[in-house]
């Protein structure tokens, strides 16, 4: 597993996508989620095996947990989004699968349990070691790159969903009947009021 991660160039982990690609991925993954719900069957991942997908769900919910304002990453469909993106971008697959294996291997090394089987405090200990790139030890670089990629994927999946848009308070293009102009205090500060 470490050989696989080491052979993956760092650039392969730093994928970007256009807004159109993110919107399409969000739309398609939300459609798949809705179809699964309508059929009363669980979502069937396109890329991940059952263990990997369960890890993606758990990791996503640790990155963006449910709070008093909105749902968690899994409530928003971020795991389905990640599955769609990874299935559609084959160059990303080795890095993501290798990162999930790294996460399990690190938990086994430290706690004799895979990530999903480890207690929450143990999981958080590992994630704390890879969540802050500037603070991470050099030997954690593979985990850091993986976690950074997953954090980006979870955030994109979350904030491109209905739950995430609601969390942001985005109102969309709302017609204003009247435009009173900028507040007087802003005009004063700019010296134009």
Number of structural domains (the chain) is 1
Q: How high does pLDDT run on average in the chain?
A: 85
Contact at 8 Å (CB) between 42 and 86? Answer: no
Range(s) of the domain holding residue 44: 2-190
pLDDT of 4 strictly over 50: no
Give the C-alpha separation, 34 to 158, whole Å.
Answer: 16
Please list the alpha-helical segments (H only) found in the chain.
Answer: 2-7, 10-13, 19-38, 50-63, 73-76, 78-88, 90-111, 120-130, 141-159, 162-168, 184-190
Give the C-alpha separation, 172 to 142, whole Å.
Answer: 39
pLDDT tens for 47-100 read: 999 999 999 999 999 999 999 988 999 999 999 999 999 998 898 999 999 999
């Amino acid at each position: 597993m470490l050989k696989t991660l080491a052979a993956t160039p760092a650039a392969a982990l730093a994928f970007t996508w256009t807004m159109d690609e993110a919107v399409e991925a969000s739309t398609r993954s939300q459609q798949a989620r809705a179809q699964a719900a309508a059929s009363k069957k669980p979502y069937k991942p396109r890329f991940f095996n059952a263990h990997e997908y369960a890890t993606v769900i758990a990791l996503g919910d640790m990155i963006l947990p449910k709070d008093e304002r909105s749902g968690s990453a899994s409530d928003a469909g971020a795991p389905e989004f990640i599955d769609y993106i990874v299935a559609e971008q084959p160059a990303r697959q080795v890095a993501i699968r290798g990162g999930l294996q790294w996460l399990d291997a690190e938990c086994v090394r430290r706690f004799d349990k895979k990530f999903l089987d480890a207690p929450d405090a143990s999981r958080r200990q590992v994630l704390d070691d890879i969540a802050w790139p500037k603070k991470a030890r050099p030997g954690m670089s593979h985990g850091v790159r993986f976690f950074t990629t997953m954090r980006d994927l979870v955030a994109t999946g979350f904030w491109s969903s209905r739950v995430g848009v609601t969390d942001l308070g985005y109102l969309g293009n709302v017609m204003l009947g009247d435009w009173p102009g900028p507040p007087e205090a802003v005009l004063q500060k700019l010296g134009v009021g």
